[in-house]
Chain A
């Protein structure tokens, strides 16, 4: 079916540690994988995305890796800061790329 599995559902780290969130998708035709961050009481916003022609993409402290063979992709946050605390959603496109299916979200808590 069209689903995206996301783990873990909650993640607590100390400031300065790294955080990793993993997602698995089911449609082998999917070739675009965005990550959204939703701070408490705010709208989700795109923080990084990756297309299937690359295996890794970095943007400062954030990186995303993609393994098309295994159909999973991961978000890596290094040197975490309290302002990284939020809910993170992964997503993948289905049905001819007309709709985006989201994972169930990971609540990241970074403690000072």
Chain B
């Protein structure tokens, strides 16, 4: 069953802690993306990667870090430097860049900072 899997679905974190969100895809897609979703603000791009071992900052990268060591994996770390981390995080992938067609999204991870 091909698709994109995010884990965990729900995550609670204390202030000052780093947390890593997992994103795995078995679609053989080159490009992967992390978006943050807040009520009334749509989907905002955090980081994106067009190819293994390369990634670019999106519009709201401060306080976040990523790695792309394998084609199928693009984990996102929310660091303690992120001032307002409570949000819904969506990972997505596409064949090769946004112009080539559809973004496939995971089911999301909801992070709550206590």
Interface residues, chain A, with chain B CB atoms under 8 Å away:
2, 6, 9, 31-32, 34, 36, 42-46, 49, 89, 93, 97-105
Interface SS majority for chain A = strand
Interface residues, chain B, with chain A CB atoms under 8 Å away:
33, 35, 40-45, 48, 50, 56, 58-59, 90, 97-99, 101-103, 105-108
| Chain B residues positioned under 8 Å from A89 (CB to CB) | 42-43
| Chain B residues positioned under 8 Å from A99 (CB to CB) | 33, 45, 48, 56, 58, 98
A86-B1 Cα distance, complex, nearest whole Å: 26
Contact of A104 among B40, B45, B50 (CB under 8 A): B40
Known contacts A98-B48, A104-B40, A104-B42, A46 near B56 by CB under 8 Å? no
**What are 13 A-B residue pairs whose CB atoms fall within 8 Å in the complex?**
A2-B59, A31-B99, A34-B102, A43-B106, A43-B107, A49-B102, A97-B98, A97-B99, A98-B98, A99-B45, A100-B103, A102-B43, A104-B41
